[in-house]
Amino acid sequence: MEHKMRTVNTPVIKKDAKALVTGKPVYTDDLAPKDSLIVKILRSPHAHALIKNIDTTRAEAAEGIVCVLTYKDVPNKRFTMAGQTYPEPSPYDRLILDQRLRFVGDAVAIIAGESERAVEHAMRFIKVEYEVLEPVLDFHKAKDGDILVHPEDNWKSLCPVGADNKRNLCASGIDEDGDVDEIISGCDYVVEEVYHTKANQQAMMETFQAFTYLDSYGRLNVVASTQIPFHTRRILAHALDIPKSQVRVIKPRIGGGFGAKQTVVAEVYAAIVTMKTGKPAKMIYTRYESQIASSPRHEMEIKVRIGADKNGLIQAIDVYTLSNTGAFGEHGPTTVGLSGHKSIPLYGRAKAFRFAYDVVYTNHMSAGAYRGYGATQGLFAVESAVNELAAKLHMDPVVLREKNMVQEGDVMPAYYGETLNSCALDRCMARAKEMIDWDKKFPYVDMGNGKVRSVGVAMAMQGSAISNVDVASVEIRLNDDGFYTLLIGASDMGTGCDTTLSQVAADCLECDLDEIVVHGTDTDVSPYDSGSYASSTMYLTGMAVVKACEEIRGKIVKKASEYLNCDKETLEFDGKRVFQPEGDLEISLKDIGNQIMCCNDDTISAGATHTSNVSPPPFMVGMAEIELDKETGTVEMVDYVAVVDCGTTVNPNLARVQTEGGIAQGIGMALYEEISYTEKGQLRENSFMQYKLPTRMDVGDIRVEFESSYEPTGPFGAKSIGEIVINTPSPAIANAVANASGVYVRTLPITAEKIYQGMKNK
Amino acid sequence: MEIGFILNGKRIKSDIADDATLFSVLRDKGCYSVKCGCETENCGLCTVLVNGKSRLSCSFLAARVDNCEVVTLEGVQKEAEEFGMYLAGEGAEQCGFCSPGLIMNVLAMEQELESPDEESIKEYLSGNLCRCSGYVSQLRAINKYLNRGGV
Amino acid sequence: MIRFKNYVKASSLEEAYTLNQKKSSVIGGGMMWLKMQNRVKVTLIDLSGLGLDTIEETEEEFRIGAMCTLRELETHKGLNTYFQGVMKECTRFIVGTQFRNGATVGGSVFGRFGFSDITTCLLPLDSYVELYQGGIVPLKDFCTMKFDRDILVRIIIKKDGRKVSYASQRMAKTDFPQIACCISEKDGNIAVSVGARPNLAEVVYLEKAGKSAEELAAEAADSFRYGSNMRGSAEYRNHLAKVYIRRMLEQFEMEGK
């Protein structure tokens, strides 16, 4: 049934807005019981070491200390902290605490006590004797190297991802179509370069946090700032070696995630303390811990070869990605896939492609999921290479893209052979060009004071949910007076999905948004959802809402036909009442809602589950305008223009802010956010003092518009928005820098010094 | 040690450790709007007003607020909601975790600067980090808020 | 985080000084840097009750109390009018308003931090440090003095009609500087300081003597030693110093015409 859009596509205010802006206690740490034990971790000072001896007696005896746990106290069954559908592609390579320490910051011991002061004090009394081992710090040397990060025999990989712990391989593989080498050898123009992206931190303002307690049934209750309540339930059961029925996970408001909280970073530590002591416990990560022992983006080095004919038609693309998963394999086998599968298909005219990859273990902090999930890295490489190709061809990079970009109706061999049902990439490009006045500003305008203003361009795609894997479910119930309760398993992490999913429900049920009460997420109450990641929430959970609303509408009409004593085929439902268009009978939804509370044996509720065999890509064009100082190499962001095709925008305000926010993060990645290690494997950028997020003085203007296609498999034509938005700034800014200075910076971040050195060495 | 100060309009006494931060004392007093995002004084989430000036409560010794007037978002609910609804009107509050600190500093800015231009606004608020919004929606909201009542 | 047992709000400089003679004591300024240090002390001495939070202007000088905040320096009309806005220029990029409402001038100067914008800015001016025991010492000399247990009471800047200009370069806008430069000029005598090299600012004096801005800048910039860290290499810093010093000298020339 077709529904008119009344609430969908309008910029309604988020349902939780008032609580958030008035500072109500709605986040994990605000809700933790006052008597929670404070849990802290003693962390490894070495990048690679074995614990020879650990003596906790003095710490345990200290005042206010309740328990100290070491590797001897935890189950010896390996698991993964990656929030993925079971069986997880990420290898089972972790223990809660291990005798082998694999990065500076790895957990040595868990200590819990009555106050932060007591715990910090007592931590100094844990005596550890380490056998320091040589670490693997260079990810180029990890594969088949002499030092193994995971030599243990109980390491295991559940999926065929090409993993081999005896080769330091977390995954490896190849995917190809056509003969790339032959086609490239016949090309008039070939670009072959290597690009390097860093292990950026999501740096959501709320760090990793969780508290745990036992309920009246003796079950472990976990309140956590997580994107993946259901996966967390399973992962904790695995980690603690207890039945899944014994775990309940509740998600309150979350202070941002961006993929960081798609990994179970903090939860296990509080959970095991509660299991051992029976007492409530809370684990609040410091920013320092969030910087050095968390789940950042996979560092990748990507070699790209692109061949084109003399007219600028791209003939073949060859991508090899080396990904650094760090000490553990969380999201290692999957992120790497996107570096090719979500970059190569942008160029639909190519005759052949090859995408090969290795994901290696090193003694760096483990990587995880970060917005863009590998596509960001791949797009920096491929889009930069396309821009370099344009320069070789002496062609405007916009024109080069116009000739080569994928179009609606194309079959995409590098994208699992999917057919593109919805795509407004061409319109995005045309509009972006207009907005930034590309033709006037390309390649640069000399400002006459040693400074030039230049423009740069990049395209991007992402997916919408993981096809044939992700599952979304919702339930909707009719209540007295005719209001509805919408139970969702998706996790609103500030993105506003509680509101946007309610918008979908309100339009399907033809009611006001206020008539929908939304509840998410509690694994005891909410229906199963794989979680809020992979750009799945609106596309997948939104569709589950559409299905559930359809079903409950039928039930409402059927119940009305009973109350009205007529054939249900004669009735229609307009959201407020069920009535006979051809007759006089009618009953209000309010009356139905109230009557079902008395002498009724029908449940007026509906549940729906949805999965998808396709993952329709949203598209985007980003254009950066910068001002570059030719003497110093400094770059100022002047303007950033983005035009997005995310299908129908369910809430234009929230979609816009997602885009602006993603672009600002992308600007950070492009210009400021460095991750580097000392020779001993210590992470240098271990605080916000050293890891520089862009401030409001750094981002320049950001202007966003939408050019919507209509995705037939999405709710009201929607695709996804959450991830794609971070993908264009790095390549677009690199392009603008090259247009201003002639220097292509291929290793992020693009610092003034790299540009200066490049200009000097020309 | 014991200190006495005015918290959100009420005179209170508090027994604190000599080295306690104002941040920890405020959260103990139930001012949960005050958040910690970094420990290194870069994020601005813990911003409160002390004698009318915006301060980072994470690096403010509680001992020093003896006889001072402290205001957190709990004490300016009306103002918070008024400006907050401009934020929400743009979708700019997002996860909301940085909102209390931002709002406190916007209120301080409103007191201190007279009709600031956009550059001054950005400079005044540059110590308030936000990872969700990209800041431009916040700026739209601030402009609308400062120009409310029309001119 | 710093931990200590006793908080003492000093009622006189004498008391503060006496307490500070113990190694287990520490002076609390703005508590911005001190808070972040993992140290355990017995006594924290607070100077905030000693009236050291004022900026006084006399005919001859400005007297800036050690407990004045960077924000007060930034917004002080008299200082900024007299010194052509450099006090604002050298403070406004430091973290954020709230931070500058806390950080003190005394803390910034006493700490002799390599990244100090404040020290860089004060050096080419006729600036002095008033120490409780040590008396009034030229800032230049103070910068090379060993850390001792004296107390910085105030900063004094003479009003001698120098022209002054300040420039810094940062990666992200509110980060530490990659380089900080300040120049002053009076009667053809030029003073140039460069900080964040990454070491503490130092000052050199040059005579104009008909040299071009380019030559003067090179001479000044090359007289410092530079080092490398996360924010830049020695070579790049040297280059930046040259560029910014030259630009400020050129700006002086333009204004002089």
User: What are the residue ranges spanned by the domains of chain A?
Assistant: 32-135+208-291, 139-200+296-420, 424-461+616-762, 467-610
Nearest CA to A226 among A269, A203, A258? Answer: A258
Give mean pLDDT, residues A320-337: 98
Find how far residue A452's CA is from the centre of its chain.
36
CB-nearest to B63 from C7, C35, C36 is C7
Q: Which residue of B has its CA nearest to C175?
A: B42
User: Tokens in use for A432?
Assistant: 């972006």
Amino acid at A338: L
What residue spans in chain B does CATH classification 1.10.150.120 cover? 75-146
pLDDT above 70 coverage of chain C, percent:
100
pLDDT at A3: 63
Rounded Cα distance between A710 and A715, Å, is 10
Q: What ranges make up the beta strands (E) of A693-760?
A: 701-706
Amino acid at C223: S
CB-nearest to A632 from C3, C173, C243 is C243
pLDDT at A5: 79
Q: How big is chain B, counted in residues?
A: 151
Burial A437-457 (b: 16+ CB within 10 A, else e): ebeebbbbbeeeeebbbbbbb
- Which residues of chain A have a CB within 8 Å of the CB of C175? 672, 692
pLDDT at A35: 97
Q: Please return the burial class of C246, using the count of CB atoms within 10 Å of its CB with bins 0-12, 13-18 and 19+.
A: buried
C198 touches chain A (CB under 8 A): no
CB-nearest to B42 from A22, A207, A689 is A689
Q: Cβ A205–B43 below 8 Å, yes or no?
A: yes
- Which residues of chain A have a CB within 8 Å of the CB of C169? 632, 634, 752
- Which residues of chain B have a CB within 8 Å of the CB of A653? 89-91, 137
For the cut 70, the answer to whether the pLDDT of residue B151 exceeds it is: no
Q: Looking at the domain that runs over A424-461+616-762, which CATH code has it been given?
A: 3.30.365.10
pLDDT at A348: 86
8-state DSSP, B129 = -
What is the count of residue pairs from A and C with beta carbons less than 8 Å apart?
39
Residue B106 to chain C, least CA–CA distance (Å):
11
A611 forms bridges with which residues in the sheet? Answer: none
Give Dmax over CA atoms of chain C in angstroms: 61
* Pairing label, strands A352-361, A314-326: parallel
pTM comes to: 0.98
The residue segments making up the domain with residue C11 are: 3-46
For the cut 50, the answer to whether the pLDDT of residue A379 exceeds it is: yes
Confidence band, pLDDT 50/70/90 cuts, at residue A4: confident
CB-nearest to C173 from A674, A676, A698 is A698
Rounded Cα distance between A119 and C127, Å, is 47
Mean pLDDT of chain C: 96
Rounded Cα distance between A16 and A266, Å, is 25
Rounded to the nearest 5 degrees, what angle is found at the Cα of B56, between the Cα atoms of B52 and B57? 90
Examine the fold and report which residue of C158, C181, C203 is the final residue of a domain before the chain moves on. C158
Mean pLDDT of chain A: 97
What residue spans in chain B does CATH classification 3.10.20.30 cover? 2-72
User: Tokens in use for C34?
Assistant: 């001190």
Class in CATH terms, B2-72? alpha beta
Give mean pLDDT, residues A29-46: 98
Q: Cβ B44–C96 below 8 Å, yes or no?
A: yes
User: Tokens in use for A106?
Assistant: 């790895």
Question: Mapping DSSP to helix (H, G, I), strand (E, B) and coil, where does residue B22 land?
Answer: helix
User: Tokens in use for A466?
Assistant: 């993981």
H or E stretch covering A111: strand A107-113
Instruction: Write out chain C in H/E/C secondary structure.
Output: CCEEEEEEECCCHHHHHHHHCCCCEEEECCCHHHHHCCCEEEEEEECCCCCCCCEEECCCEEEEECCCEHHHHHHCHHHHHHCCCHHHHCCCCCCCHHHHCCCEHHHHHHCCCCCCHHHHHHCCCCEEEEECCCEEEEHHHHHHCCCCCCCEEEEEEECCCCEEEEEEEECCCCCCEEEEEEEEEECCEEEEEEECCCCCCEEEEEECCCCCHHHHHHHHHHCCCCCCECCECHHHHHHHHHHHHHHHHHHHHHHHC
Contact of C7 with B61, CB cutoff 8 Å: yes
Examine the fold and report which residue of C121, C140, C158 is the final residue of a domain before the chain moves on. C158
pLDDT at A22: 98
B37 forms bridges with which residues in the sheet? Answer: none
Confidence band, pLDDT 50/70/90 cuts, at residue C226: very high
- Which residues of chain B have a CB within 8 Å of the CB of A656? 91, 137
A196 forms bridges with which residues in the sheet? Answer: A301, A747
Contact of C154 with C64, CB cutoff 8 Å: yes
Rounded Cα distance between A264 and A261, Å, is 7
The string of pLDDT tens digits covering residues C168-208 is 999 999 999 999 999 999 999 999 999 999 999 999 999 99
Rounded Cα distance between A519 and C1, Å, is 39
Q: Looking at the domain that runs over A139-200+296-420, which CATH code has it been given?
A: 3.30.365.10
CATH architecture for segment(s) A467-610: 2-Layer Sandwich (3.30)
Q: How many CA atoms lie less than 13 Å away from C198 in the CB half-sphere?
A: 12
- Which residues of chain B have a CB within 8 Å of the CB of C91? none
Q: Cβ C97–B61 below 8 Å, yes or no?
A: no
Rounded Cα distance between A262 and A83, Å, is 5
For the cut 80, the answer to whether the pLDDT of residue C257 exceeds it is: no
Q: Please return the burial class of A745, using the count of CB atoms within 10 Å of its CB with bins 0-12, 13-18 and 19+.
A: buried
For the cut 60, the answer to whether the pLDDT of residue C29 exceeds it is: yes
- Which residues of chain A have a CB within 8 Å of the CB of C178? 752
Give mean pLDDT, residues B8-24: 97
CATH architecture for segment(s) B75-146: Orthogonal Bundle (1.10)
Q: What is the dihedral of CA B133, B138, B140, B145, to 10 degrees?
A: 160
- Which residues of chain A have a CB within 8 Å of the CB of C173? 695, 697-698
For the cut 70, the answer to whether the pLDDT of residue A437 exceeds it is: yes
Q: Which residues contact C47 (CB under 8 A, 6 or more apart)?
A: C10, C16, C27, C28, C29, C66, C67, C106, C151
Q: Which residues contact C130 (CB under 8 A, 6 or more apart)?
A: C136, C137, C152, C153, C154, C155, C156
Q: Which residues contact A45 (CB under 8 A, 6 or more apart)?
A: A104, A130
Q: What is the CATH number of the domain that holds C232?
A: 3.30.390.50
pLDDT at B149: 79
Find how far residue A313's CA is from the centre of its chain.
33
The string of pLDDT tens digits covering residues A660-675 is 999 999 999 999 999 9
> In the sheet where B2-7 sits, what is the strand order?
B10-15, B2-7, B69-71, B47-50, B53-56
pLDDT at A1: 46
pLDDT at A663: 98
From the options 1.10.10.10, 3.20.20.70, 3.90.1170.50, 3.90.78.10, give the CATH code of A32-135+208-291: 3.90.1170.50
- A139-200+296-420 and A424-461+616-762 share one CATH topology? yes
pLDDT at B55: 98
Confidence band, pLDDT 50/70/90 cuts, at residue A402: very high
Q: Cβ C243–A631 below 8 Å, yes or no?
A: yes
Q: Which residues contact A511 (CB under 8 A, 6 or more apart)?
A: A484, A575, A576, A589
Give mean pLDDT, residues A198-209: 98
Contact of A461 with A617, CB cutoff 8 Å: yes
* C-alpha dist (Å) from residue A130 to A45, A126, A133: 10, 12, 9
Contact of A672 with A693, CB cutoff 8 Å: yes
Give mean pLDDT, residues A521-536: 95
Nearest CA to C164 among C202, C205, C121? Answer: C121
Give mean pLDDT, residues A596-604: 94
A641 forms bridges with which residues in the sheet? Answer: A623, A703
Rounded Cα distance between C254 and C244, Å, is 15
Rounded Cα distance between A379 and A387, Å, is 11
Same domain, C124 and C71: yes
Same domain, C182 and C251: yes
Q: Please return the burial class of A708, using the count of CB atoms within 10 Å of its CB with bins 0-12, 13-18 and 19+.
A: buried
Rounded Cα distance between A661 and A203, Å, is 13
Q: Which residues contact A639 (CB under 8 A, 6 or more apart)?
A: A436, A624, A625, A700, A701, A702, A703
Q: Cβ C5–B18 below 8 Å, yes or no?
A: yes
The total domain count for chain C is: 3
Give mean pLDDT, residues A94-120: 98
Confidence band, pLDDT 50/70/90 cuts, at residue B121: very high
Evaluated on CA atoms A524, A530, A532, A538, the torsion sign reads negative
Q: Which residue of C has its CA nearest to B62?
A: C7
Interface test with A, best of C36, C95, C98, C239 (most A CBs within 10 A): C239
Residue A474 to chain C, least CA–CA distance (Å):
44
